[in-house]
Amino acid sequence: MRIPMKVDYGVRALIHIAQKNPNQLVRTSEIAEGQKIPEAYLDQVLTILKKHGIISSKRGPNGGHELARSPDRIKLNDVVYALDQKPESLKCKKHPGVCNFAKYCNQKTIWDEIEKTVDDYLSKITIHELIKPKVSHAGDF
């Protein structure tokens, strides 16, 4: 499965914001520095998240970003769809005419089921769940 960088950065930014005081605006520069994300790219990601109602933003010297709803109401598939639309595993699903086998493809059903499973899973995970500390048995990396 391919996780676009934009989605990874978006999720990390949301976790960073969620870990702050709910009444505290978080500056783009703080998120970028804390998450090691290029600030110019992060600004684009945050603009998209704002457009989709996932965060709200305020400009100016006292500006910053905050979650537009509680972290337990922001699901991972909301973030994926906002930043990468609905992911498709195969080009032929977006552009059926590119495949000579589309009429009698036996694999399409399997890929459809996998996509549905991933979508269902991502719809059950919230940003709130990702801010909980995790215990790693594999050690630090």
DSSP 103: G
* Banded model confidence at residue 134, pLDDT cuts 50, 70, 90: low
Return the domain boundaries, the chain. Answer: 5-130
Angle at 74 between CA 64 and CA 67, to 5 degrees: 15
**Does the 5-130 domain belong in CATH 1.10.10.10?**
yes
Mean pLDDT of the chain: 87
Secondary structure E strands in the chain: 55-58, 64-67
| Interatomic CA distance for residues 106 and 8, integer angstroms | 32
Token reading at 16: 């960073």
Residue 88 has pLDDT above 70, yes or no: no
Q: What is the model's pTM?
A: 0.83
pLDDT per residue as tens digits for the range 93-118: 666 677 777 777 788 788 888 888 98
* Banded model confidence at residue 137, pLDDT cuts 50, 70, 90: low
Name beta bridge partners: 64.
Answer: 58
- Segment 40-56 shows an average pLDDT of 97
